[in-house]
Amino acid sequence: MSTGWTLFIVIITAINVVGATWLMWASSRRAPGEKAPGAETTGHTWDGDLAEYNNPLPRWWLWLFYGSVVFSLAYLVLFPGLGSWKGTLGWTQEGQWQKEVEAAELAAAPMFERFSRMSFAELGADADAMRVARNLYANHCAMCHGSDARGAIGFPNLTNADWQWGGTEDAVYATIAYGRIGAMPPWGEVLGPDGVEEVVAYTLTLSGQQAPADLAAAGEARFQMICSACHGLDGKGMQVVGGPNLTDDVWIYGGGADMIRYAVLNGRQNQMPAQLDALGEQRVRLLTAYVLTLAPPQPAAEPAASPVESTADEGEAEATAGVAADAAE
C-alpha cells in the first residue's frame, strides 16, 4: 500500500476516534437525572402521554465506551490496521494460518505415518484411511467431479471404467499428483464445412449412433488421416496421449451431433490441476486409493510370453499342422 493511502487511512481513523469520543463526552456533560433547561423532552410522544426524555447517558456506559477507545488504540499499535503499518507484534493472517497448519500436521503425523506403510489396496480397505480420503475428496475434488464423483459437463465421471489417461494405480496417482492437460485442437479451418460434417457423421457411427451413410463413409478417410493420431485407427482412444475413446457412450461434453460438431470446429481445452505441492505425498496417495475404490477394477495386463513358451507354442502349432496335413492326405 502506498504512503499516500496509508496517511489517508490514518487520518480518517483518527478523525473517527476523536470525533466519536468528543460526541460522547459532550453528550454527558449534565449529571444523570438533571433535565436540560427548557427542553425536558425531545418532543416525541407515543400513545398520547409516553414522552421521550433527553437525559444524559449512564456513567457506566460512558466508561465502557472510553475503555473500548483505549482498547482500539492499543490494538492499532500492536496489530496491522493503519494502512501499511504492520504492528509492533508483526502479526499476519498468513503467519497465523501457517501456525495452525503446522499444528494440524503435527497432530496428524502419526496417522499419516501409518498410512505411508500401506499399499493402495490396503488403503482402500482401511476404514480410517477412507474416512480421511473422503474428507479430502469433499474439500478438494467434489467441486469439479461432484459429491458423488459422477462428474458433470466438462468434468470426468470417476465411477465408471472409462479412463482418458488410464485407470491403473500409477496412472491415477500421476493424474492427481502432477495434473493433466487435455487439448483437442480446432479443425474447422483445416476440414472446411463439408469435412466437418463428414467427420461428425463418422464419429457418430463409431458409438453406434445414426448418421447419413455417405457422409460417414467420406468422414472415415478424414478421420484416419487427422483424428487417428490421438483417438486411434479404431477410435478407441489412446491413453498415452489422453485421447478419449469415441466408441462408447461416455462423453465428457456430450455425444450428440451438436456437441461433437462444436469440438471438431473449435477444439476443447481441459485441465486437471496438480495437487502434489498443495496436498503432499500422503494425501495424494489417500485420494488415489479412494478414487480407485469408486471405479470398477481394471483388468490385469496379460503377461508377455517368454521365448521358451513361444518356441514351445510354435512347435505345438507345427505338430498340429503336420497331423492335419497327414489327415488330409
Residues 268, 278 within the same domain: no
Residue 278 forms part of a structural domain? yes
pLDDT value for 73: 93
Residue 249 forms part of a structural domain? yes
Q: Distance (Å, rounded) from C-alpha 189 to C-alpha 329?
A: 63
Residues 286, 242 within the same domain: no
Nearest to 186 by CA among 173, 171, 196: 196
Domain CATH for 250: 1.10.760.10
Angle in degrees, CA 66, 72, 73, rounded to 5: 95
Confidence of residue 77 (pLDDT cuts 50, 70, 90): very high
Q: Distance (Å, rounded) from C-alpha 216 to C-alpha 213?
A: 5
- Are the beta carbons of 283 and 116 closer than 8 angstroms? no
- Model pLDDT for residues 220-274, shown as the tens digit of each residue: 999 999 999 999 999 999 999 999 999 999 999 999 999 999 999 999 999 999 9
Asked if the model's pLDDT at residue 34 lies above 60, the reply is no
Residue 301 forms part of a structural domain? no
Overall pTM > 0.75: no
pLDDT value for 317: 43
At 155 the three-state DSSP class reads strand
Task: Give me the half-sphere count of Cα atoms (radius 13 Å) on the Cβ side of residue 18.
Answer: 6
Phi, psi of 244 (to 5 degrees): -65, 150
6 CB-near residues (< 8 Å, 6+ apart): 82, 83, 84, 85
Q: Average model confidence (pLDDT) for the chain?
A: 87
Residues 284, 149 within the same domain: yes
- Are the beta carbons of 293 and 124 closer than 8 angstroms? yes
Domain encompassing residue 23: 3-78
